[in-house]
């Protein structure tokens, strides 16, 4: 990789920059050391010459020796300084090597961490691409669901409008049916009143004819016959009740079937609310003794058996059900 080459080049340049001056110093030290060795050799030769020379030349040689000794002392001092600087430079080199090793270790750990981070980044990028793909699929699915919801909403709106229309038609039909039933009831009442009046008229005519026919009838017998006939004549107009003794709401809606129990003053009713109810009317008020909800459609007919212990009911769901009356209550034991 490019960054590794750059780091390596920087380390090499720094190593060269920091060691180049020490290399020059070591070369200079070696030269001075060689020159000091040469001077020592010359000094030894001069001493030997001084020893072999005459006394006339002692003074000249002594001056030369002193000059050489001074020069040697200077060279030794310079050599000592170079040794000291060499030791310092060696210590600096050791420290720099330690720092270089530490830096290399740090660089190695960072390279390892960088490789791991590169792998993590690659895996994260793969996960991001997978999530983006899933997100696009979810968006498409969401769009499909929105379209389906919109279509269902439109269908629901149409069905709701149709339901409202059917409810309006149903209400209208119910109103018309109630109107027709009220008209039929009024017509039946009129026919019943007309029949009662006709019967009363016929009976009065027969009584008049019987009263006019006095043959073979004594006054006492006539009085007895008239008194005996007055009861039925006076009671006949009361044969049709004009006022209900008990009135109660048996069902939620139209009552389709009513039947008296053969043994007790119990009434079984069935209605379009799909219920069968048992009523006790012996106390002058209607008291519900039981109710069974089992039909899937309106109950159209109810009937007791000869003992009054069971009730059979027929409904519009093409089924008949039998329920048992237990202690004047409906017990849930039915047979379809």
- Given a cut of 50, whether residue 195 has pLDDT beyond it is yes
Q: What is the pLDDT at residue 327?
A: 57
Q: Which residue stretches of the chain are H helix?
A: 2-52, 58-212, 219-235
Task: Report the mean per-residue pLDDT for the chain.
Answer: 80
pLDDT over 50 at 236, yes or no: no
| pLDDT average, residue stretch 178-199 | 84
Interatomic CA distance for residues 293 and 319, integer angstroms: 14
Distance CA 279, CA 282 (A): 9
Q: For residue 319, what is the enclosing H or E element?
A: strand 319-326
**Measured between alpha carbons, how far is 37 from 265 in angstroms, rounded to an integer?**
154
pLDDT digits (tens, 9 = 90+) for 285-317: 888 888 877 788 889 899 999 888 889 999 888
The Cα-based distances of 12 to 1, 5, 77, 96, 105 in angstroms read 17, 11, 35, 13, 16
Residues 148-168 pLDDT 10s: 999 999 999 999 999 999 999
Predicted local confidence at residue 150, as pLDDT: 93
Q: Each residue of 25-50: pLDDT tens digit? A: 777 778 888 888 888 888 787 777 66
List, for residues 112-151, the tens digit of each pLDDT value.
Answer: 999 999 999 999 999 999 999 999 999 999 999 999 999 9
d(CA 258, CA 277): 10
Q: 72 vs 37, 62, 152, 162, 208, CA distance in Å?
A: 10, 15, 114, 128, 191
Q: Which helix (H) or strand (E) holds 292?
A: strand 287-293
- List, for residues 42-98, the tens digit of each pLDDT value: 878 777 766 665 545 556 667 777 787 888 888 888 888 888 888 888 888 888 888
Which DSSP string do the residues of 274-286 spell out, in sequence order?
A: SEEEEEE-TTSS-
Kindly state the tokens that stand for 9: 């080049």
Residue 231 has pLDDT above 50, yes or no: no
pLDDT-based confidence at residue 233 (cuts at 50, 70, 90): very low
Measured N-to-C along each axis, helices 58-212 and 219-235 cross at an angle, to the nearest 10 degrees, of: 160
Q: What is the pLDDT of residue 13?
A: 85
Pair 323, 292: CB distance under 8 Å: yes
Q: What is the mean pLDDT of residues 14-25?
A: 76
CA atoms within 13 A on the CB side of 216: 1
What radius of gyration do the chain's Cα atoms show? 68
> What is the predicted pLDDT for the residue at 214?
56
**Res 240: pLDDT:** 54
Is pLDDT of 216 > 80? no
């Amino acid at each position: 990789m490019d960054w590794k080459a750059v780091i390596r080049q920087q380390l090499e340049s720094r190593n060269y920059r920091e060691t180049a001056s020490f290399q020059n110093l070591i070369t200079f030290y070696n030269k001075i050391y060689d020159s000091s060795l040469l001077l020592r050799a010359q000094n030894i030769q001069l001493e030997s010459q001084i020893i072999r020379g005459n006394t006339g030349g002692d003074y000249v040689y002594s001056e030369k020796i002193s000059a050489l000794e001074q020069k040697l002392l200077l060279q030794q001092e310079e050599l000592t300084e170079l040794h000291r600087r060499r030791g310092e430079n060696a210590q600096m080199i050791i420290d720099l090597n330690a720092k270089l090793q530490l830096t290399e270790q740090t660089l190695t750990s960072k390279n390892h961490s960088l490789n791991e981070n590169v792998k993590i980044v690659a895996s994260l990028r793969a996960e991001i691409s997978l999530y983006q793909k899933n997100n696009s699929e979810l968006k498409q699915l969401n769009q499909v669901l929105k379209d389906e919801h919109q279509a269902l909403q439109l269908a629901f709106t149409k069905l709701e409008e149709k339901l409202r229309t059917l409810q309006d038609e149903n209400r209208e039909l119910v109103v018309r049916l109630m109107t027709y039933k009220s008209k039929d009831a009024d017509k039946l009442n009129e026919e019943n009143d007309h029949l009662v009046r006709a019967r009363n008229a016929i009976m009065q005519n027969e009584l008049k004819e019987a009263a006019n026919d006095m043959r073979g009838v004594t006054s006492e017998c006539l009085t007895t016959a008239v008194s005996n006939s007055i009861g039925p004549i006076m009671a006949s107009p009361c044969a049709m009740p004009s006022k209900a003794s008990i009135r109660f709401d048996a069902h939620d809606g139209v009552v389709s079937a009513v039947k008296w129990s053969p043994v007790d003053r119990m009434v079984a009713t069935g209605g379009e609310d799909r219920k069968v109810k048992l009523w006790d009317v012996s106390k002058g008020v209607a008291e519900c003794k039981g109710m069974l909800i089992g039909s899937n459609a309106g109950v159209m007919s109810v009937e007791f058996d000869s003992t009054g212990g069971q009730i059979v009911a027929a409904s519009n769901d093409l089924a008949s059900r039998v329920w048992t009356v237990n202690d004047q209550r409906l017990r849930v034991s039915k047979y379809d």
